[in-house]
Copies of this chain bind each other. A is one copy, B any other.
């Protein structure tokens, strides 16, 4: 039996795709102030899209940073309330030269959409909206109460969301949160995400002098800011990937045998990642498998570095300053505050020779785990089983969704994940893409999940 919402979905896919492409054309890069207007434009686009779907009570709400989009449909008395979370901001697209087509001019090819935020997460954001639209247009109502909360700062650590949720605890009150920022496996191998890593990000600045020096005049006499930065960075991780910051692993829970077994089921991911990105050998703590390291161990990565002369040819200069951007991924029970302290202490110890070292923009999010026996986790599994005919695996994600621990702490609600992204879709990297087959399939899963929750 084909349900009427299913027919509705089938009949409207062309329009859904064209809306998705329109959404992708807005360069809503939250990290760069030059794009502030585009982040707002994306917010307004989402509000209109919600309204078109039949979520009449929808609008933007201000924060100290980028605006938030809120919408609600609360006409199912006695039924639970689901808060649907997502973000409409995107990562920067630099270096643009590595893209095969311009990052903000999406291209459809072989059933895939290529463009910045195709996978993370403008396609995903549309899934619950389309699901609600299909139910509303065919049944006239939704089986449960729904609230939408879409932010514009996920890619910069959801900076304003903490204060925003605190201020709007009544408005956002709910029984369960579902995050559309992620995936749910393939049709053959459906998955639910039961945990994400936390994160702590910072910029490290080293200054050794007031002016650059000629390397002929100063070489052998003066400190070099790049060398000092290199020395500090090298002191933070050993050649095998062990993090050398004192106390860094103290709060890390040991992996149980059961966890290791669950994680091992996903080890093909690491092989796929290797193949699609072209690195030659796995890297990380040899006591753990690549998959264990990728989802259940903390990491420290330099995301960017710069100092001195970067132009064509050479310049014989001893640079006065050098900089690095660093993120660490955290696992239970690490916290960003604790990690900030440990890193700060480590870096200060390395700052010999009276060099000036500063840490900027240190912010982060706690790691998060869904309790394995959480009832709505079971509901989501049922919907996925119904949609695919396969049993569902429990998966940990190596990424971070900062809001999960926020929702738990401020709203007392657990967060599930339901999106259509796959791990190989080059999120945050050039030539990011998204599979239209998953886009269609997970619209359907949303309808099934809402129905299941309403039973």
Contact = CB atoms under 8 A, between A and B. Distances in A.
Contacts of A322: 305
12 contacts: A31-B312, A31-B313, A213-B277, A215-B299, A217-B398, A219-B301, A220-B398, A221-B283, A221-B290, A223-B281, A229-B305, A316-B327
B226 A279 contact: no
A199 B219 CA distance: 11
Interface residues of A, number: 106
A399 B32 CA distance: 41
A251 B28 CA distance: 58
B281 A353 contact: yes
A218 interface: yes
A209 interface: yes
A319 B304 contact: yes
A87 interface: no
A441 interface: no
A115 interface: no
A203 to B, nearest CB: 8
Query: Nearest 3 pairs between A and B by C-beta?
Result: A216-B399, A31-B313, A220-B293
Q: How many copies does the complex hold?
A: 2
A428 B212 contact: yes
Interface in A272-301: 273-274, 276-285, 288, 290-291, 293-295, 297, 299, 301
A308 interface: yes
Interface in A390-406: 397-400
A214 interface: yes
Contacts of A312: 31-33
B294 A318 contact: no
A156 interface: yes
A303 B319 contact: yes
Interface in A100-137: 120
